[in-house]
Structure 1
Amino acid sequence: MDPVRVRLPEADASGTGTVRGWLLARFPASAAELADLFATGGIVDDGGRPLPPGAPFVPGAAVWYHRALPEEPELPGDLPVLHEDEWLLAVDKPHGLPTTPRGGFVAQSALVKLRRARGEDRLSPLHRLDRGTAGVLLLSRDPATRGRFQTLFQDRAVAKEYEALAPHDPDLVLPRVVASRIVKDRTCLQAREVPGPVNARTAVERAGAPFADDDGCWVRYRLRPETGRTHQIRVHLASLGVPVRHDPLYPRVLPAGAAGPPLQLLARRVSFVHPVTGVPLSLASGRRLACGDGR
């Protein structure tokens, strides 16, 4: 996990004249943790030098420290490597594992698990898969070339193919491109479609024969998002009346903490031209959805 960086303000509101006093006043809930960090030399300045408890408050200075990790339930951690070179790492993320630390999960995230297992503190995700989504995840191994990979995503030079298991609607006309404006803010768990200029486009087609089980009639869909809005595929399928099977957010939010089967959404394939080597890459997940059609 990356260290926390805190920049001191221009004025010491604590009135103590020390870094320790300001931090304790600013983060009272972390008082015990901060006291331990000062006692063990765990709070350092920009030069990496440990700060003593009486270190003077310097306006605009920065301090760094690693936060203690809370206890976390163990999440799936199988992350098979699909491709590896000097600049890039591609892994096959399982369902239920966050890409990066968020919410109640820090150590139990793909990024931290990979950094620890591989001893690579410079690993950084190039995109994000929702916690419930499995499949191809790309990470940068080299900060100097990370921007070149990110430019591929910004220029829409990365072809992404997803698979989803969702209800079968024989009256739904496919293939089609779903185009809408999607917005997402922190006040709501769901992203939503709103009037305005289009910022999300997803090509949708069926990719298998329908099958039935005790819960209904289902079919596998192939999806090619042209853009990368938050929850884009899940929102677009729900808007067509065929939400992803076992989706806890769409079309309605299930109660918090309600455990259920994995979201049936998979980042099947990612294709692009390697920006450093110039070699075309097409990286495919080895995971499978429970599609009932022999796959």
Structure 2
Amino acid sequence: MRDGVSASRTWLPKCESYKNENENHGSWETIIDFLVERFPFIPEAVFQQRLGRGDIVDQNGRPYAVNSPYQPETFLFYYREVPDEPVIPFEETILFKDEHIIVVDKPHFIPVTPTGRFVRESLLSRLKHRFQLEEICPIHRLDRETAGVIIFSCDQRVRGAYQSLFQNREVRKTYEAIAARSTLEFPINHRSRLSKGEPFFRMQEEGGEVNTESIIDLVETKGELARYQLKPVTGKQHQLRVHMASIGSPIMNDPFYPTLQPCKGDDYSKPLQLLAKKIEFIDPVSGEVRLFESQQVLVL
């Protein structure tokens, strides 16, 4: 682990068998020959720099050199890095930590795990670096655009017990959102079927067997806007965002729903007005009732 980033690995196949399955590919004399073919989107000069720094190692931890021979049927380890990775100017808050879990109050804009142009700035890498503990991993999901409470495991021996809470719907989650004021009768129990939409990162409602459910309530109004309390019964990707758009009150500053907005980069002045406010469950290890609440506030 380096700066909170765990090593990734890739298998080095036999040249002959790989070449039989992939015509005109698979003749590698050196490690850099393989890397250039395996990762064509990365310039050879970048690999030369990484090899020169000792950032690519074999399965015994020995650094490869630029001219190291190819070693079939072994693992190669490397560290993901993004040149000029943007710094996200917000800090997470640790709400709770014991030997089993870490509960974090995540700001908007921080991805939970390394993705795309964010590796070291992901919440996972930040926590690994802060606590110098490689086995930290998230127990559930939270969108990059969404702020609020998220739980990480820091003890793999009991990780499954906490993950089962979410799989078995034994966790009570409460969100808040700011959206257009509605004239509908609340609370609403919104149930629908969600599936992958277009492009691939959006979800859509469609006919068929219901697979999502959210309880939506209006708790405060101010002019044309309102504060909503959202309690997801299920936990599909973008579920609350799609459901709010479906009832005619899309969440304020949502770039995906109801229509996909052109990408203009991160506008830190306009965060998605969705907050994972509370998480409550019975601790599967201690038997205690756990209730964690975000310190963040959505201003109406």
Task: State whether TM-score is above 0.5.
Answer: yes
Query: Where does 1:161-172 land on structure 2 (aligned, <5 Å)?
Result: 161-170=174-183, 172=184
- Tell me what 2:276 maps to: 267
- Tell me what 2:222 maps to: 211
Over the aligned positions, Cα root-mean-square deviation in angstroms equals: 1.9
Residue 200 of structure 2 is aligned to residue 188 of structure 1: yes
- Which of residues 170, 175, 186 is equivalent to 1:174? 186
Counterpart secondary structure, 1:25: helix
- Which of residues 237, 241, 244 is equivalent to 2:248? 241
What do the CA deviations read for 1:58-81 (whole angstroms, capped 9, x no partner)? 444211011333213321332111
- Tell me what 1:77 maps to: 90
Question: Which amino acid is 2:130 matched to?
Answer: A
Residue 3 of structure 1: how far off its partner (Å): 1.5
Counterpart secondary structure, 2:190: strand
Cα distance change, pair 72–57 in 1 and its aligned pair in 2 (3 A): closer
Residue 53 of structure 1: how far off its partner (Å): 4.3
- Tell me what 1:68 maps to: 81
What is the alpha-carbon distance in structure 2 between the residues aligned to residue 263 and residue 81 of structure 1?
22
Tell me which moved more, 119-128 or 238-247. 119-128
Question: Which amino acid is 1:96 matched to?
Answer: F
Query: Where does 1:65-144 land on structure 2 (aligned, <5 Å)?
Result: 65-144=78-157
Counterpart secondary structure, 1:207: strand
What do the CA deviations read for 1:213-268 (whole angstroms, capped 9, x no partner)? xxxx1111111101111110000010000111111111111110153511111101
Residue 52 of structure 1: how far off its partner (Å): 4.1
Residue 274 of structure 1: how far off its partner (Å): 1.3
Question: Which amino acid is 1:228 matched to?
Answer: G
What is the alpha-carbon distance in structure 2 between the residues aligned to residue 30 and residue 125 of structure 1?
32
Counterpart secondary structure, 1:144: coil
Residue 125 of structure 1: how far off its partner (Å): 1.2
Tell me which moved more, 220-229 or 49-58. 49-58
Question: Which amino acid is 1:229 matched to?
Answer: K
Residue 141 of structure 1: how far off its partner (Å): 0.9
Query: Where does 1:249-260 land on structure 2 (aligned, <5 Å)?
Result: 249-257=256-264, 259=267
State the percentage of identical aligned residues. 38
Counterpart secondary structure, 1:224: strand
Residue 162 of structure 2 is aligned to residue 149 of structure 1: yes
What is the alpha-carbon distance in structure 1 between the residues aligned to residue 193 and residue 72 of structure 2?
43
What is the alpha-carbon distance in structure 2 between the residues aligned to residue 14 and residue 33 of structure 1?
21
What is the alpha-carbon distance in structure 1 between the residues aligned to residue 44 and residue 89 of structure 2?
33
Unmatched runs of 5 consecutive residues or more in structure 2? 20-24
Tell me which moved more, 282-291 or 252-261. 252-261
Counterpart secondary structure, 1:237: helix
- Tell me what 2:22 maps to: none
What is the alpha-carbon distance in structure 1 between the residues aligned to residue 176 and residue 28 of structure 2?
58
Tell me which moved more, 271-280 or 222-231. 271-280
Residue 210 of structure 2 is aligned to residue 198 of structure 1: yes
Tell me which moved more, 234-243 or 147-156. 147-156
Counterpart secondary structure, 1:63: strand
Q: Is the 8 A contact 1:167 1:219 kept in 2?
A: yes
Q: Is the 8 A contact 2:82 2:118 kept in 1?
A: no
What is the alpha-carbon distance in structure 1 between the residues aligned to residue 158 and residue 164 of structure 2?
10
Counterpart secondary structure, 1:89: strand
Unmatched runs of 5 consecutive residues or more in structure 1? none
- Which of residues 9, 32, 36 is equivalent to 1:5? 9
What is the alpha-carbon distance in structure 1 between the residues aligned to residue 289 and residue 81 of structure 2?
42
What is the alpha-carbon distance in structure 1 between the residues aligned to residue 91 and residue 140 of structure 2?
19
Query: Where does 1:279-294 land on structure 2 (aligned, <5 Å)?
Result: 279-291=288-300
Question: Which amino acid is 1:154 matched to?
Answer: Q
Residue 186 of structure 1: how far off its partner (Å): 7.8
What is the alpha-carbon distance in structure 1 between the residues aligned to residue 250 and residue 65 of structure 2?
55
| Matched length | 285
Q: Is the 8 A contact 1:77 1:113 kept in 2?
A: no
Residue 56 of structure 1: how far off its partner (Å): 4.3
What is the alpha-carbon distance in structure 2 between the residues aligned to residue 30 and residue 4 of structure 1?
19
